Amino acid sequence: MPNPTPHLPLLRRFAALAAIVLLSGCLTIEEHYTFKEDGSGTMEYVLDMSEVGEMLDNMKGLSDGGDGGSTSDMGEQAKQLKGVEGIKRVKFKEEKKGYVQRISFRFQDVAALNRALNVLMPDSTGVQQEFFHWEGNTLVRTNNRHAEEIGNDMAGGPTASDTSGIAEMLKSMKYKYSFRFAKEVASVEQADGVTRESPQPNQVELATDWSVIMKDPKALDLRISVGK
């Protein structure tokens, strides 16, 4: 049975507010990875809606009983991750009344990482996605429809007219990656509209927004080659 896209209860409350007020910097999703030479590593997934949290709390009828922005979606995902083979030290943390949520864990190898990401970022197809694989010394990322479906939901569905307000809202929604490797990064291939920084020779930081993702659902795919 297809898995529903997670985070939607909180995101839909935001969408109702965004229809009234044009927001800036309203939503950021982050993925932070470290990869060791033996193939193991760590991952942190962050959902940050802190900039819109106060507005949501103040909008009459949009809060869930006035108890702030917390939603149990990611807490439930953290519980599921504890049962995933090859995943250890799962931690879940809420900040700013639940409008910032973090899940972190250690993975044994990319196969275990993929199993975990299918818990964190399923799409409506319910198909198990191979998010990461190694081609020699090149790490390849291939995404499912998770981010695209979030964009569709926020914009009112795939058939909604693309008004200037919706376009600006999508631009305000950010997606960020960061990667740290045991060896220096040799090259990076990313889609148009994705920016890249290299704070250290063994690090890569990538960022884009949902206006790019909605135009090109493969915008989050990438290839990173590291030194042998």
pLDDT tens across 46-55, in order?
998 887 766 6
* Domain assignment of residue 149, yes or no: yes
* Domain assignment of residue 120, yes or no: yes
Please give the residue range of the domain that contains residue 97.
8-226
- Give Cβ neighbours of residue 61 (< 8 Å, ≥ 6 apart): none
pTM confidence score: 0.83
H-run or E-run covering 113 = helix 110-120
* Domain assignment of residue 139, yes or no: yes
Residue 63 clears pLDDT 60, i.e. is over it: no
* Domain assignment of residue 82, yes or no: yes
Specify the residue for token string 């030290």.
89
pLDDT of 172 reads: 85
d(CA 193, CA 209): 8
Among 24-33, 150-159, 204-213, 216-225, which is the least confidently predicted range? 150-159
* Domain assignment of residue 3, yes or no: no
Going by pLDDT thresholds of 50, 70 and 90, the confidence category of residue 67 is very low
82-99 mean pLDDT: 93
Residues 47 and 29 sit within 8 Å (Cβ to Cβ): yes
The token pair at 69 is: 């922005």
CB atoms within 10 A of CB 99: 24
pLDDT of 66 reads: 44
Q: Find, among 77, 101, 65, 62, the residue nearest to 5 by Cα.
A: 77
pLDDT of 98 reads: 80
The token pair at 54 is: 């106060």
d(CA 133, CA 223): 10
Q: What are the angstrom distances between the C-alpha of 84 and each of 31, 34, 80? A: 19, 19, 7
d(CA 169, CA 209): 10
Residue 19 clears pLDDT 60, i.e. is over it: no
pLDDT of 205 reads: 98
- Count the domains in the chain: 1
For the chain, the average pLDDT equals 83
